[in-house]
Amino acid sequence: MARRNDHSRDEIREMALAAAEKLVSAQGAKGLSARKVAAAIGYTVGTLYLVFDNLDDLILQINARTLDRLHDRMLEELARHKDPMERLLQLGHTYISFADEETHHWELVFEHRLPEGQQPPEWFREKVARMFSLVETSLEPLATTRSPDEIKQAAAALWSGVHGICILAISKQLDVAGVDSVQDLTHSLMSNYLRGFVGSNR
Amino acid sequence: MARRNDHSRDEIREMALAAAEKLVSAQGAKGLSARKVAAAIGYTVGTLYLVFDNLDDLILQINARTLDRLHDRMLEELARHKDPMERLLQLGHTYISFADEETHHWELVFEHRLPEGQQPPEWFREKVARMFSLVETSLEPLATTRSPDEIKQAAAALWSGVHGICILAISKQLDVAGVDSVQDLTHSLMSNYLRGFVGSNR
DNA sequence: ACCTGAACACCGTTCAAGT
DNA sequence: ACCTGAACACCGTTCAAGT
């Protein structure tokens, strides 16, 4: 058998990504395999390799779409609030909520590892950087006395913190630590850090 | 072939764990497989299943040993300092250094996922809880006006933050965010948070 | 030109059968 | 009693050959 031409390259690509996302959201990273994706779209495994370099490439494409959804949510949230402090806090809550709602997708973004020594492509790194920028610009009006470099550092610290809460919450390790509300914890982390950061000059 | 009796059950167990740890530290989680471990110790794959429930069980045992090493390092660090603030800050740096030195082992602890719906056994959760306790008790003398519950929450927030920095640093996502020193970032996170937490009453 | 089918080199896990 | 060897049901990736 061979030659079908039912779908264009782009259509196959889109079908494959949709099928893969369905597998991931239902069963997580372990539930994803090239063979299952191929079966789900009615093509042979070989066909996937005409459209993606390999499974890592496919995963990178899924992750790009996840990061886009997350970024959209954060932008919407920023549009909803005017008070600078409120904006920043809501950004944190949006991040946590997203991780909670799309747990498997969120995990795939941050826990997928490329083969030893390989770096994600530039366009992917850009999507991560964009998220940090959002935090930075939201932080600026709250710390007008600080240098751009200090703000960059603070945004990174703040976002690492929120990210860490997400990770530990998802892997259920915060229950162990006796935390009952993840959103309260996030609020505590952000507001205390900000009080420390804004309130003094060293 | 069959029956060799060269090694006791416990010896096989120890040999397997050592071989597995060697694989992980050299190549990360992806480099680990039951077949490779068996080959490395000169037994058949089947033999591994006489000593471990399955690969997840083997990984849990490796992770337990990693958590023990980390805990030891943290205890040593606490013994080296008297000033409460210094103790807490050094705890953070120790955590980061450990993750930096034993990256693959550290990743295996926090990124290995049990099959959907399965929880780590109680003895494992205990080892994680023990780490949070260390932070809690180090935090206490710095915030004498706070309730035990507030201190618990603060320890969780603080440790989530340090943990988040570790994760992002290991996955190289902090370079993207324009951070040059991970230890500086950790210091900034902890000291600003503590200033906020200690300095005020709400 | 487009896709398949089969191959290759791997997996985790089980268990009847050999010594 | 202890361990093997072979089987089963999966993997990712490649590529000659069919239409």
Q: Class assignment of domain A63-199?
A: mainly alpha
Which candidate, B186, B167, A156, A160, places its Cα nearest to that of B194?
A: B186
- Closest approach of A144 to chain B, Cα-based (Å): 17
Q: In angstroms, rounded to a whole number, what is the distance separating the alpha carbons of residues B25 and B103? A: 8
Q: In angstroms, rounded to a whole number, what is the distance separating the alpha carbons of residues A27 and A71? A: 24
Give yes or no for A32 touching B (CB within 8 A).
no
Q: In angstroms, rounded to a whole number, what is the distance separating the alpha carbons of residues B141 and B136? A: 10
Measured between beta carbons, the chain A residues lying within 8 angstroms of B164 are 159-167
Nucleotides of chain C within 7 Å of a protein C-beta? 1-7, 10-19
8 A C-beta contact, residue B108 and residue B120:
no
Strand C at less than 7 A from CB of A197? no
> Of the CATH numbers 1.10.150.120, 1.10.10.60, 2.60.40.420, 1.10.150.130, which one belongs to the domain with range A1-52?
1.10.10.60
Residue B132: predicted pLDDT: 92
Q: Inform me whether the pLDDT recorded for A201 exceeds 70.
A: no
Which candidate, B67, B70, B49, places its Cα nearest to that of B58?
A: B49
CA angle, residues B65, B69, B70, in degrees to nearest 5: 115
Please judge whether A153 and B119 are an interchain contact, meaning their C-beta atoms are less than 8 angstroms apart. no
Distance from CA of residue B39 to its chain's centroid?
28
Per-residue pLDDT tens digits for A100-155: 999 999 999 999 999 988 999 999 999 999 999 999 999 999 999 999 999 999 99
Q: What is the pLDDT along chain B (202 residues), one digit of tens a residue?
A: 566 889 999 999 999 999 999 999 999 999 999 999 999 999 999 999 999 999 999 999 999 999 999 999 999 999 999 999 999 999 999 999 999 999 999 999 999 999 988 999 999 999 999 999 999 999 999 999 999 999 999 999 999 999 999 999 999 888 877 787 999 999 999 999 999 998 754 4
What is the rounded average pLDDT for all residues in chain A?
Answer: 94
Residues 6 or more apart whose Cβ sits within 8 Å of residue A35: A45
For nucleotide C19, the protein residue with its alpha carbon nearest to C1' is: B2
A41-50, A77-86, B163-172, B193-202: segment of lowest average pLDDT = B193-202
Q: Where in chain B is the domain with CATH 1.10.10.60?
A: 1-52
Window A44-73, strand C contacts by Cβ < 7 Å: 44-47, 50
Q: In angstroms, rounded to a whole number, what is the distance separating the alpha carbons of residues A68 and A76? A: 12
Q: Which of residues 115-144 of A touch B (CB under 8 A)?
A: 115-116, 119, 125, 128-129, 132
Give yes or no for A157 touching B (CB within 8 A).
yes
Residue A164: predicted pLDDT: 97
Q: Where in chain A is the domain with CATH 1.10.357.10?
A: 63-199
The pTM score is 0.94
**B interface test, pick of A186, A192, A195 with most B CB neighbours within 10 Å:** A192
- Interface A–B counts its CB contacts (< 8 A) at 158
Identity of the residue in B116, B154, B185 whose CB atom sits nearest the CB atom of A157: B185
